[in-house]
Chain A
Amino acid sequence: MEALNRLFTKSNSAQIAKQRLQTMLTYDRLEIPPGMLTLIKDDIVAVISQRVSVDREHVNVNLLHEQDSSKLVVDIPLIVGRGARTLRSAGAPGAR
C-alpha cells in the first residue's frame, strides 16, 4: 500500500517527510525507541490471550499523533469460536 502511495505521489515527498517526522518526533519526545512498540504489542497480546483467543496475525498497535497529544491505538481482533457463535445466536432476541 505504501509502495502504491509512493507511486502515485511521486513528487510529493514533502508529505512523506512530514509524516516520517511526526512519527519520529513522537518517539523522540516519548523517549522510547521505535522498536519498543513491537515489545508493547507482544506484552498486550500475552495479557489478553490469557482470557480470550487473539487473532495474532492481525493485531495492530500504533502511535497516533494529533496536534497536542499522542495516543496508543490498539486493535486486537479476537478469534470467535463455534461456542461463542452458538451462544450469540441462542441469546439473540427473536431467534428461533
Chain B
Amino acid sequence: MNEQAPLESRVITVTSGKGGVGKTTLTANVGTALAQLGRKVVVVDGDIGLRNLDLVMGLEHRIVYDIVDYVEGRCRLRQALIRDKRAPELFLLPAAQTRDKTAINPQQMVLVCDELRQEFEFILIDSPAGIEQGFQNALAPADVVLVVINPEVSSVRDADRVIGLAESQGKQQIYLVINRVVPVRVKKQEMLSVDDITEVLSTEIIGIVPEDEAILSASNRGTPVVCNGKGPAALAYRDIARRLNGEQVPLEAPQSLGWLQRLFGR
C-alpha cells in the first residue's frame, strides 16, 4: 500500500449550501479513509467560529493553535496541525472557535493551501453551511468540489445554487454525494431516488451513503465510522475515498434488504 506512486496534491472542498446534511462527518470519514489507503492527508476545518471537525474526530482536547493563529503569524503551520494517530499520515488543521468567518479571506486560504500542498496529497476542507464568506474561503483553493446533499427538496435546491456558484468560479470537478439515503423509503417512492436527483441536478455522483445508526454513536465517541466500522455508511465512505484515490469503484444505489436477507445478514 505504501509503495503507491505519490499523487499531485489536490484540494477537495466539501460543501452543501444547506446545513446539517453531513459535511463534517463526510470530511472526517473520507479524510480518514484516504489516510488508511496510505495517502498523506490533512483535513481543514473551514467553519471559523463554529468548529466541529475536531469534535467529530475526537481531537478536540489537543488543540493549541488554529488556522487563524497561523494566518495572523502567532504560530508556524506545523504547530497548528494536529496528528491523528489512527492513520499513518492524517492531520487536522482546526478552525478558531472565538473568531468569525471574516478572520480569513479567500486569498489567505489559497496561501494556506499552497503551503499544505508541499506536504500533503489530499487537503480536505470542511466548508461551513451557507454561501457567504466562509463558503467563499473554502471554495477559493478547491481543485475538486464535493457537494453533499440529502434526498430532500431544500437540500437539492441549495445544492443547485452552490454548484452554480462553483461553476461561476471556474471549478470544473464538481461531484455530488447523496447522504442519508433510506433505500426502503426510496423503494416506496417516499424519497427522491438517485436517478431523480441525477436528472434534476445533472451533476456526476461520486458517492451514495445510506442512513446508518452507527454515525451518531461514532460522533458521540469521536471515532469516525471508517476507523473500525463495517456498516453501510463506513463502506460508502471508503468507496468515495477509493474513487478520489483514482480507483474504479462501481457506483450502486443501495438496495433495501428483504426480511430473509436481514435475518441472515445478507
Contact = CB atoms under 8 A, between A and B. Distances in A.
Contacts of B200: 18, 21-22, 25
Contact of B191 (A14, A20, A29): A14
A29 B160 contact: yes
B156 A67 contact: no
Interface residues on A, range: 10 to 19
Given A18-B200, A25-B200, A29-B160, A11 B190 contact: yes
Nearest to B196: A18
A29 B192 CA distance: 21
Contacts, number: 43
Interface residues of B, number: 18
A24 B157 contact: yes
Contact of A29 (B153, B164, B189): B164
A18 B199 CA distance: 9
Given A18-B200, A68-B202, A13 B160 contact: no
A13 B190 CA distance: 5
Prevailing SS type, chain A contact patch:
helix
A86 interface: no
Contacts of A67: 199, 202
Given A20-B153, A22-B200, A15 B189 contact: yes
B202 A12 contact: no
A17 to B, nearest CB: 5
Residue among A11, A14, A24 with max Cβ neighbours from chain B (10 Å)? A14
A25 B201 CA distance: 9
Interface in A46-96: 67-68
Contact of A12 (B152, B153, B189): B189
B129 interface: no
A28 B157 contact: yes
Given A67-B202, A68-B202, A18 B192 contact: yes
Contact of B189 (A14, A25, A28): A14
Contacts of B186: 14
Residue among A22, A24, A29 with max Cβ neighbours from chain B (10 Å)? A24
Nearest to A22: B200
A11 B153 contact: no
Interface of B: 152-153, 156-157, 160-161, 164, 186, 188-193, 196, 199-200, 202
10 contacts: A12-B189, A14-B191, A14-B192, A14-B193, A17-B153, A18-B192, A21-B192, A24-B157, A28-B161, A29-B164
Given A14-B189, A17-B153, A25-B160, 11 more contacts: A11-B190, A13-B190, A14-B186, A14-B196, A18-B192, A18-B196, A18-B200, A20-B153, A21-B153, A24-B157, A67-B199
Nearest 7 pairs of A and B residues by beta carbon: A12-B189, A14-B189, A18-B196, A17-B153, A25-B160, A21-B200, A14-B192
